[in-house]
Amino acid sequence: MHCHLDAPANAISVCRDAAQVVVAGRSIFKIYAIEEEQFVEKLNLRVGRKPSLNLSCADVVWHQMDENLLATAATNGVVVTWNLGRPSRNKQDQLFTEHKRTVNKVCFHPTEAHVLLSGSQDGFMKCFDLRRKDSVSTFSGQSESVRDVQFSIRDYFTFASTFENGNVQLWDIRRPDRCERMFTAHNGPVFCCDWHPEDRGWLATGGRDKMVKVWDMTTHRAKEVHCVQTIASVARVKWRPECRHHLATCSMMVDHNIYVWDVRRPFVPAAMFEEHRDVTTGIAWRHPHDPSFLLSGSKDSTLCQHLFRDASQPVERANPEGLCYGLFGDLAFAAKESLVATESGRKPYAGDRRHIFFKRKLDPAEPFAGLASSALSVFEMEPGSGSMSWFVDTAERYALAGRPLAELCDHNAKVARELGRNQVAQTWTMLRIIYCSPGLVPTPNLNHSVGKGSSCGLPLMNSFNLKDMAPGLGSETRLDRSKGDTRSDTVLLDSSATLITNEDNEETEGSDVPADYLLGDVEGEEDELYLLDPEHAHPEEPEYVLPQEAFPLRHEIVDTPPGPEHLQDKADSPHVSGSEADAASLAPVDSSFSLISVSHALYDSRLPPDFFTALVCDMLRFYAEQGDVQMAVSVLIVLGERVRKDIDEQTQEHWYTSYIDLLQRFCLWNVSNEVVKLSTSRAISCLNQASTTLHVNCSHCKRPMSSRGWVCDRCHRCASMCAVCHHVVKGLFVWCQGCSHGGHLQHIMKWLEGSSHCPAGCGHLCEYS
C-alpha cells in the first residue's frame, strides 16, 4: 500500500508502537497513521505562515522510548526537537543552532530519554541533553563532514560515526577529546551505518563506492565479515529484524529499488521492491520485531508499505549455470536440472556414468534452498584431436587473391586434398565448376574424392567426443534415418553411407525420442516428401528435378542441430564413424555429389552462376556453423563480388573477426593482415588503421618526443641521423638490432649491398633481410 505525499521525502521514521510514521523533507513534515489498508494523515507539523529553513529537514528520528518526542535535522544546520504532547498547534520544542553547516543525521539514545546526537557537514558531532539549552559535548571529526551517527544498541556509551572521507569512528560518549577507534571502511564517503539489533559487535556501513560492508567490532581491529556489492551508491542501510543476516538498502542515485540482502549471498539480492519511480530516500522496518513490513519514502513523493512476501525475488529468475575447462581440455558444464531437461529433451538414464544429478544437502540457514538441484555434464577431449596443424597449414598455403578464380580454386582444392580434407577440396572444385567455364575438371578426380569424403568430415568436429550418448541425439538420428531410408536405393549414395545409416538404426532404437521434439521436425518430414520426387524420377534426367532436390535437403540438415547437440554431432572420428553424426556431416557431401554428377547436364542448359548463389551462401553458412570459419572466409574472399551481396554485412563481419582472431591466436600475423586487407567490410578493413601510432623516445635524453619524430623538444637535438648521409631521417628509419645504427631505408639498403659492415664504422656485421 502507498500514499501520495505533497513533496519529495528526505527521511522517514517509525514510532515505537509501529502505528505511526513521520515523513520529513524539504517542504514536508507530516505524521501518518498506518492503518489496515492505507496511510492516514494525522498531523502536519509544518505550521506557521512563512516556511522557515528550520523546517527543511535532512533527517528525522522518532524517539524509541517516548512516543511524543521527535527530532529533525535541518539543511541549514539547526537541530529541532518536537514534542507531540504540546497542546498548541506548534509542536516545536527546542532549537539548537550550534552547527555551522547542514546537519546530516540525528539520533536518539536507544534507552536514555534525553540524549540526542547530531552529525553535521561541518565535521562536528554534538551530544545534546534535552533538559538543557545547549550541547553537552562536542566531538570533532577533524574537519571531515559527518554523514551518519548511530548509537550502539548494546553498548550504552558507544556510538559510531561515518565520514565523507571514508572513515568510520567509534566514540565513547563520555570522552569527547578523541575517538576510541578509527578505520577506513570505504573508498569515498560512507553515507550510512547501522548497528545489528542482536549481534553486539556488528556494524553495517554503506558507501558511495556501491558497497555494503559488515564489520565485526568486537575484535581488536575492526574486521570486515561480509561485503555486498550493489549497483549504485548506498544511501541507507537497515538490518531486518529477526533475520540475522538480512539487511535492506536503498541507493542515492540512479537506482530506485529497495533491496534486501542476505549478507552471506552477496551477489543476488534476496528480495527486491520496485514500487518507487524515483530514488528512495528513507527506509524503516515497521516494527522492531516484525520482519515482514518495510516502510519507505521516496523523492517521487510517495510513502509505501512493502510486504516482504510480495517482494520480487531475483533469484527465481536467475538461471545458474557453470562452465569450466579442465587442465587437459575437458569441459564441464553444470546447469539447473530443469533447464537441461527441457532444453535438450535429454533425460538421465542408467548407463550414463558422467551425467550426474545431485542434490545439495539443505542447510536450514540457506536462503535459496530448494534450487540447488543441477545437472553436470563432462565432455572429454579426444586424444589427438586437439591438434590444429591443419588450420595453420591451410591458412598459410591458401591463395586468396592475385590469380584468376579458377586457379585459386584449384590451388586451394589441392591444398585441402593434400591435408586430407577432402570435403573441403571438393567444395573448392565445385566452386570452380560453378563459377568458371565447365569441362576442365577431370571427372575421375571427383569420384575419387567423394569416395574419401565419408571419412573426412569437418576437422573441427573432432574436437569433442561426448562419451555419454544423450538421448537428445534421437531426433537427429531420426531425421537421418529417414533420409537414409528414402535414399538408400538411390544410385548416388555410396555404400559406406548406407552402412552408417543402418548402424544408426540399430543404435538409436533403444533411446526413446521425446515426442515434442519430433514435432519440431515436421518441416523436415515435409522435405522428405520433396525428396520422393527425385527418387521416382530417374537420376539420369535431372534437368528439372535437381534444384528441388538438392537445396531443401541441404538446408534442412545444416539447420537441424540446435543447442547442445552441436557437440554431439561433431563427434566424428574413425572409430565412431558409425555414429549418426557422421551421417549428418556426410549428407551435404551426398547432395553436392549428386550435383556434380550432373554438372555437365547443367551447363548444357546454361544455368548462370547466379543460380547457385543461394546454394553457395548456404554452404558458407554451413561451414561457419560447423566451426570452420576459415573456409567461409576464404571462399568469401576468393569469390568476392559474386556472393558478397547475398550475405548480410553483419554475418560477414562476424566471420571475418572470428577468423582474424583465430589467425592471431596462432600467431599467423601475415595471413591475418592479408585477410584484413582483402576484406571488403569497412569495419574490418579499418582494423589495420587502428593504433598505428609509434611513440618514440629521444635517444639522448630518453624523453618521449611528442611533436615530431626526429627532433627532441627538450634537448633540441636531432634524434635519428642517417649513418650513411648524416642527415636527419624524417621518413622511414631502419636500424640494425645488433648495433642500433641505422638510417634512411634506401641508403642502408644500398650500403649493405656493397659492404657487410655497419656504415657507422662500429665494426658490427649488420644484416639486412
Partner 1 sequence: MRIKGSKETLRLDKRIRVSQPLTRGPSAFIPEKEVAQANTVDERTNFLVEEYSTSGRLDNITQVMSLHTQYLESFLRSQFYMLRMDGPLPLPHRHYIAIMAAARHQCSYLINMHVDEFLKTGGIAEWLNGLEYVPQRLKNLNEINKLLAHRPWLITKEHIQKLVKTGENNWSLPELVHAVVLLAHYHALASFVFGSGINPERDPEISNGFRLISVNNFCVCDLANDNNIENASLTGGNFGIVDSLSELEALMERMKRLQEEREDEEASQEEMTTRFEKEKKESLFVVSGDTLHSFPHSDFEDDMIITSDVSRYIEDPGFGYEDFARRGEEHLPTFRAQDYTWENHGFSLVNRLYSDIGHLLDEKFRMVYNLTYNTMATHEDVDTTMLRRALFNYVHCMFGIRYDDYDYGEVNQLLERSLKVYIKTVTCYPERTTKRMYDSYWRQFKHSEKVHVNLLLMEARMQAELLYALRAITRHLT
Sign of CA dihedral 659, 557, 563, 499: negative
Determine how many CB atoms are found less than 10 A away from the CB of residue 696: 16
Are 624 and 635 in contact by the 8 Å Cβ rule? The answer is no
- 3-state SS record for 579-623: CHHHHHHHHHHHHHHHHHHCHHHHHHCCCCHHHHHHHHHHHHHHH
Cα separation of 19 and 33, whole Å?
6
Residue 629 beta carbon to partner 1: minimum distance, rounded to whole angstroms:
29
The one among 29, 77, 250, 434 contacting partner 1 by CB under 8 A? 77
Which lies closer to partner 1 via its Cβ, residue 120 or residue 652?
120
Q: List the one residue out of 449, 645, 632 whose CA is nearest residue 558.
A: 632
How, if at all, do strands 11-14 and 20-25 pair? antiparallel
Residues 43-55, buried b or exposed e (16+ Cβ, 10 A)? bebbeeeeeeebb
Cα separation of 45 and 88, whole Å?
11
Which helix (H) or strand (E) segment holds residue 403: the answer is none
Residue 52 beta carbon to partner 1: minimum distance, rounded to whole angstroms:
4
Residue 81 beta carbon to partner 1: minimum distance, rounded to whole angstroms:
18
The pattern of x and - marking residues 222 through 241 that bind partner 1 according to CB under 8 A reads: ----------xx-x------
Which lies closer to partner 1 via its Cβ, residue 23 or residue 252?
252
Q: Is 188 an interacting residue with respect to partner 1 (CB under 8 A)?
A: yes
Residue 406 beta carbon to partner 1: minimum distance, rounded to whole angstroms:
41
What φ, ψ does residue 228 adopt, rounded to 5°?
-115, 130
Residue identified by cell 538420428 is 477
Helix axes 546-559 and 613-626, enclosed angle (nearest 10): 20
Which lies closer to partner 1 via its Cβ, residue 711 or residue 739?
711
# chain residues binding partner 1, by CB under 8 A: 41
**DSSP states along 159-177:** EEEEETTSEEEEEETT--S
Cα separation of 151 and 160, whole Å?
6
Q: Is 581 an interacting residue with respect to partner 1 (CB under 8 A)?
A: no
The one among 79, 252, 436, 624 contacting partner 1 by CB under 8 A? 252
Residue 610 beta carbon to partner 1: minimum distance, rounded to whole angstroms:
34
Residue 748 beta carbon to partner 1: minimum distance, rounded to whole angstroms:
18
Residue 143 beta carbon to partner 1: minimum distance, rounded to whole angstroms:
8
Residue 436 beta carbon to partner 1: minimum distance, rounded to whole angstroms:
42
Q: What cell was used for 230?
A: 550493489
**Interaction residues for partner 1, span 123-182 (CB under 8 A):** 164
Cα separation of 139 and 127, whole Å?
8
Question: Using alpha carbons only, what angle is made at residue 326 by residues 324 and 332, rounded to the nearest 5 degrees?
Answer: 45
Which lies closer to partner 1 via its Cβ, residue 67 or residue 98?
98
Q: Is 605 an interacting residue with respect to partner 1 (CB under 8 A)?
A: no
The pattern of x and - marking residues 10 through 29 that bind partner 1 according to CB under 8 A reads: ----------------x---
Cα separation of 561 and 711, whole Å?
62
Which lies closer to partner 1 via its Cβ, residue 143 or residue 756?
143
**Interaction residues for partner 1, span 265-304 (CB under 8 A):** 277-279, 300
Question: By CB neighbour count within 10 A (0-12 exposed, 13-18 middle, 19+ buried), where does 310 fall?
Answer: exposed
Q: Is 52 an interacting residue with respect to partner 1 (CB under 8 A)?
A: yes
Residue 5 beta carbon to partner 1: minimum distance, rounded to whole angstroms:
16
The one among 121, 169, 508, 591 contacting partner 1 by CB under 8 A? 121
Which lies closer to partner 1 via its Cβ, residue 38 or residue 697?
697
Residue 277 beta carbon to partner 1: minimum distance, rounded to whole angstroms:
7
Residue identified by cell 551421417 is 583
DSSP-derived letter for residue 51 is P
Residue 9 beta carbon to partner 1: minimum distance, rounded to whole angstroms:
12
Helix axes 473-487 and 495-509, enclosed angle (nearest 10): 140
Cα separation of 285 and 421, whole Å?
70
Q: What cell was used for 401?
A: 587473391
Cα separation of 682 and 690, whole Å?
13
Are 308 and 291 in contact by the 8 Å Cβ rule? The answer is yes
**Interaction residues for partner 1, span 689-748 (CB under 8 A):** 703-707, 713, 730-731
The one among 256, 286, 417, 744 contacting partner 1 by CB under 8 A? 256
The one among 4, 87, 220, 254 contacting partner 1 by CB under 8 A? 254
At 351, the amino acid letter reads G
Residue 300 beta carbon to partner 1: minimum distance, rounded to whole angstroms:
8
Which lies closer to partner 1 via its Cβ, residue 596 or residue 729?
729
**Interaction residues for partner 1, span 545-564 (CB under 8 A):** none
The one among 9, 22, 45, 58 contacting partner 1 by CB under 8 A? 58
Which helix (H) or strand (E) segment holds residue 54: the answer is none
Residue 382 beta carbon to partner 1: minimum distance, rounded to whole angstroms:
42
Q: Is 348 an interacting residue with respect to partner 1 (CB under 8 A)?
A: no
At 514, the amino acid letter reads P
Cα separation of 246 and 199, whole Å?
12
Q: Is 190 an interacting residue with respect to partner 1 (CB under 8 A)?
A: no
Of the candidate spans 39-47, 183-191, 283-291, 348-356, the one that interacts with partner 1 by CB under 8 A turns out to be 183-191
Of the candidate spans 95-103, 323-331, 372-380, 614-622, the one that interacts with partner 1 by CB under 8 A turns out to be 95-103
Cα separation of 218 and 245, whole Å?
17
Which lies closer to partner 1 via its Cβ, residue 249 or residue 672?
249
Determine how many CB atoms are found less than 10 A away from the CB of residue 637: 21
Residue 412 beta carbon to partner 1: minimum distance, rounded to whole angstroms:
38
The one among 2, 101, 644, 654 contacting partner 1 by CB under 8 A? 101
Are 500 and 577 in contact by the 8 Å Cβ rule? The answer is yes
Q: Is 369 an interacting residue with respect to partner 1 (CB under 8 A)?
A: no
DSSP-derived letter for residue 330 is -
Which lies closer to partner 1 via its Cβ, residue 54 or residue 344?
54
Which lies closer to partner 1 via its Cβ, residue 54 or residue 508?
54
Q: List the one residue out of 198, 69, 183, 209 whose CA is nearest residue 128.
A: 69
Of the candidate spans 47-55, 105-113, 436-444, 751-759, the one that interacts with partner 1 by CB under 8 A turns out to be 47-55
Which lies closer to partner 1 via its Cβ, residue 233 or residue 465?
233
Q: Is 74 an interacting residue with respect to partner 1 (CB under 8 A)?
A: yes
Residue 77 beta carbon to partner 1: minimum distance, rounded to whole angstroms:
5
Q: Is 189 an interacting residue with respect to partner 1 (CB under 8 A)?
A: yes
Residue 101 beta carbon to partner 1: minimum distance, rounded to whole angstroms:
5
Strand residues in 475-620 grouped as ranges (E): none
Residue 53 beta carbon to partner 1: minimum distance, rounded to whole angstroms:
5
Strand residues in 165-320 grouped as ranges (E): 167-172, 181-184, 190-195, 202-207, 211-216, 223-229, 234-239, 246-251, 258-262, 271-273, 280-287, 290-298, 302-307
Which lies closer to partner 1 via its Cβ, residue 278 or residue 767?
278
DSSP-derived letter for residue 264 is T
Q: What cell was used for 441?
A: 575438371
Residue 751 beta carbon to partner 1: minimum distance, rounded to whole angstroms:
21
Q: What cell was used for 725?
A: 648521409
Cα separation of 185 and 553, whole Å?
66
Under the rule (CB under 8 A), what is the footprint of partner 1?
26, 50, 52-54, 56, 58, 74-77, 97, 99-102, 121, 164, 188-189, 191, 208, 232-233, 235, 252-254, 256, 277-279, 300, 703-707, 713, 730-731
